[in-house]
Amino acid sequence: MYRYDEFDETLVRGRVEEFRGQVARRLSGALTEDQFKPLRLMNGLYLQLHAYMLRVAVPYGTLSSRQMRQLAMIARTYDKNYGHFTTRQNIQFNWIELPQVPELLGALADVEMHCIQTSGNCIRNVTADPYGGAVAGEAEDPRLWAEIIRQWSTFHPEFSYLPRKFKIAVTGSAHDRAAILVHDIGVAIRRTDEGLRFRIYIGGGQGRTPMIAAQVVDDAREDNLLTWLEAMLRIYNRLGRRDNLYKSRVKILVHGLGAEEIGRQIREEYQAIKQTGGVPLPEAEITRIRTYFAPPAYEKLQDEDLAGAMRANGKEADYARFLRRNTAKHKVAGYRIVTISLKDGERPPGDATSEEMEKIADLADQYSFGEIRVTHEQNLVLAHVKQKDLPKLYHQLVEAGLGEGNIGLVADQIACPGLDFCALANTRSIPVAQEIARRFSEPKRAELIGDMKIKISGCINACGHHHVGHIGILGVDKKGEEHFQLMLGGSADEDAALGKIIGPSFAYDEVVDAVEKVIEAYLEHRQEGEPFLAAYRRLGAEPFKRALYGTA
């Protein structure tokens, strides 16, 4: 993974020092809250319902075991012994005290981490496929391009005061595990006879007006990638709306101008930048960053008979399920990609205690070259586990309370922090997720239901990605009461689709029953082996409407 050189280090330390001074001035009263707020937002420090929340950047979701241990120490020292992994592959701490923030930032800088640009109207964390570098059929590890984009976007002098926040995601596989089509810019890498080519999309997003991104260019070359991005950001910076907070994302600009017109303007700007040399990305720099993403020292191994192990029953049934649900094919023989579930019906989705973080760091050292990935679905990945180590790893996960074999099943939900934490929320979301997970905790039933992505947002800002859930749940305020709208049929991958609202909303004590009715209707009407999304697309909304509301 990428390691800072002296230049990266200088930049981050400089920021820490700067913020130290700004915090001191706030605490002494030299800065008012109005003056301090934009400054603290630039350092990822939010004020929420009960406390400050600090969002730490985890570039493209990749952590070393050393970094994970430091996050555990920070959780223990400065927070209530836990952290929350987010839908942008970052980590959040919810109980931070302002005077301690400079020290905390110093502790992060010690392990090459920071909170830069995790808030504010700037380019945010560049996310990528968490299986990058491990999965077969990949054009290239997308994380290396996420790193190149990260450096280009950090403290960019022209793009630090955009109309609104800007989110970029990168995938290197045909199967999109990074949800690029609902990002402001999505980058898809493929390999052709002439080398790598980038397909770049603009204008995807969720929130109040969800949209699927439009394609701008199909075959951009490596050395032109940053020039394309610069052209896109410049058009947005100049033309994005600044008069209305709810219409200020780039998706609104794309929708307003139309895909064709914005494509034309971007191409024109791109050509103009090219004429004065383009945004430099020397081959030497691409090569330098590539070396950080070189494959680890794999052993020469054979594949084990995992298929057999996956069919086991009796005592081995839980392990078999873990293999089926939580592991995925690795590009190297004898290895496997393992996902650790942070969803178990007890913990809020995506939360891990300090002890768990330390345990996972140890497991990463033992089994996966010391590297951990955060997924945008709030789970963690050990990407390079030897197949023959799987039983031992599983055993240790179970001992640590991290052995749930439920990836992609109904309990594996995305939930935003919601009204329990967030000042923007209409409703709670975590307790809804906890109850759903409890309702469907019986493993055989969960597997019978199969692939089911439930995504819960406590308000229209859609941090829980409810628009792209198979079942999406949106918290709304109905006369001061917590209510929830259900929408069905959303999808975040390469066949992206936005869910459709199924009908009138449900009260807090009705919503989990409603989810159960939807699932039961699915089970009743599905064809043999048909997953939920396919069944919904075939059946339409009718059977689900009937199940929920009793009428067609």
CA 414 to chain CA mean position, Å: 10
- If binding means CB under 8 A, how many residues of this protein chain bind another protein? 68
Question: Taking CB under 8 A as the rule, does residue 276 contact another protein?
Answer: yes
Largest CA distance in the chain: 68
Cα distance between residue 66 and residue 130, in whole Å: 19
Among 3, 157, 297, 550, binds another protein (CB under 8 A): 157
Q: Give kind and range of the element (H or E) at residue 379.
A: none
Strand order in the sheet with 214-220: 127-128, 168-171, 185-192, 195-202, 214-220
**C-beta of 238: minimal distance to another protein in Å?**
5
Q: Which of residues 120-139 bind another protein (CB under 8 A)?
A: 121
Q: Is 272 in the site for another protein (CB under 8 A)?
A: yes
**To the nearest whole angstrom, how small is the minimum distance from the Cβ of residue 491 to another protein?**
28
CB of 51 to another protein, least distance (A): 4
E strand intervals along 70-134: 82-85, 91-96, 127-128
Residues 25-64 as x/- pattern, contact with another protein by CB under 8 A: -xx-x---x----xx--x----xxxxxx------------
CA distances from 549 to 436, 453, 462, 493, 523 (A): 20, 22, 25, 30, 17
Exposure of 1 in the CB half-sphere (CA atoms within 13 A)? 22
Q: Given candidates 218, 285, 495, 520, which one binds another protein under the rule CB under 8 A?
A: 285
Binding-site member from 104, 146, 185, 419 for another protein (CB under 8 A): 419
Q: Min. distance of Cβ 353 from another protein in angstroms?
A: 11
- 67 binds another protein per the rule CB under 8 A: no
Is-contact 418 484, C-beta < 8 A?
no
Among 221, 238, 264, 311, binds another protein (CB under 8 A): 238
Name the segment binding another protein (CB under 8 A); options: 131-139, 359-367, 422-430, 522-530: 422-430
Q: Does 264 bind another protein (CB under 8 A)?
A: no
Q: Draw the binding track, 395-414, toward another protein (x: CB under 8 A; -: no contact).
A: --------------------
Give which of 477, 377, 468, 373 is closest to 418, Cα–Cα. 477
The H helix count followed by the E strand count for the chain is 18, 21
Q: Is 277 a binder of another protein (CB under 8 A)?
A: yes
* Residue of 482, 535, 536, 544 interacting with another protein (CB under 8 A): 482
Q: How far is the CB of 214 from another protein (least distance, A)?
A: 22
- Residue 428: partners with Cβ closer than 8 Å, 6 or more residues away: 418, 419, 420, 458, 475, 482, 508
Please pick, from the candidates 159, 367, 484, 536, the single residue that binds another protein as defined by CB under 8 A: 159
Pair 342, 407: CB distance under 8 Å: no
Using the minimum distance from each CB to another protein, give the nearer residue, 50 or 546: 50
Cα four-point dihedral sign 364, 63, 341, 409: negative
Which of residues 112 and 482 has its CB atom nearest to another protein in the complex?
Answer: 482
Burial class (CB in 10 A: 0-12, 13-18, 19+), 115: buried
Query: Using the rule CB under 8 A, which residue among 193, 284, 442, 527 binds another protein?
Result: 284
Binding mask 423-452 for another protein (x = CB under 8 A): xxx-xx-xx--x------------------
**Min CB(43)–another protein separation in Å:** 11
Nearest to 144 by CA among 172, 164, 109: 172
Closest CB 196 distance from another protein, rounded Å? 20
Residue of 16, 57, 162, 486 interacting with another protein (CB under 8 A) = 162
Minimum distance from CB of 439 to another protein (Å)?
A: 17
Least distance from another protein to the Cβ atom of residue 357, Å: 17
Q: Do the beta carbons of residue 504 and residue 545 sit within 8 Å?
A: no
Q: How far apart are CA 20 and CA 84, in angstroms?
A: 24
Token pair 């023989």 in the structure block, residue: 333
Write out the two tokens for 116. Answer: 């830069």
Binding stretches for another protein (CB under 8 A): 5, 7-8, 10-11, 14, 17-18, 26-27, 29, 33, 38-39, 42, 47-52, 80, 95-99, 121, 151-152, 154-162, 234, 237-238, 242, 272, 276-277, 279-282, 284-285, 288, 348, 419-421, 423-425, 427-428, 430-431, 434, 480-482
